[in-house]
Amino acid sequence: SKAYFSPGEECRDAILQQINSAVKSLKICVFTISDDQIARSILLAHQKGIDVKILSDNDKLYDMGSDIGTLSREGIEIRIDNTPNHMHHKFMIADGEHLLTGSYNWTNSAARYNHENVLVSNHAGLVKSFQDEFDKLWQQMEVFEQQKPYHRN
């Protein structure tokens, strides 16, 4: 296990390293994605044939700079929390073996200004716990399709 901290590039680099090292799958569960470097890496992974699934919060979909719509239009499966509450998780499971989690929002502000953290671990028990949470949320959340109009409840 290893911990990373921001401000600075450590957390972003850890995220990019995990995305770029994946060979089979990426299960991403994050409040928002507006860091274009991270979005580009996710898209490249998808284009290489890696199975990418994203869970995100409905309230952040249309924020300026949000990359969720772009990733959806490129064919990445995305589901969203369509409740009055927030899906505020920030974690990713790569290849079912590597967990990345922490307070770090996947935004430019997190790298530039915020005091945040990322933890990367391959501890099987932790990976399984987060995998189970992802699978549960995947079943509960609503399919997001950028092509159709989206209305908040």
What confidence tens digit (pLDDT) does each residue in 59-96 have?
A: 888 788 899 999 999 999 999 998 889 999 999 999 99
* Whole-prediction pTM: 0.93
Instruction: Give percent of the chain above pLDDT 90.
Output: 85
Which of 13, 51, 59, 95 is catalytic? The answer is 95
Give the confidence band of 146 by pLDDT, cuts at 50, 70, 90: low
Which of 24, 48, 88, 136 is catalytic? The answer is 88
Catalytic annotation present for 35: no
Catalytic annotation present for 88: yes
Average pLDDT rounded to a whole number, residues 121-145: 96
Q: How far is it, in rounded angstroms, from Cα 5 to Cα 111?
A: 9
Catalytic annotation present for 132: no
pLDDT value at residue 4:
98
Q: How far is it, in rounded angstroms, from Cα 117 to Cα 114?
A: 9
Which of 46, 89, 90, 98 is catalytic? The answer is 90
pLDDT value at residue 59:
86
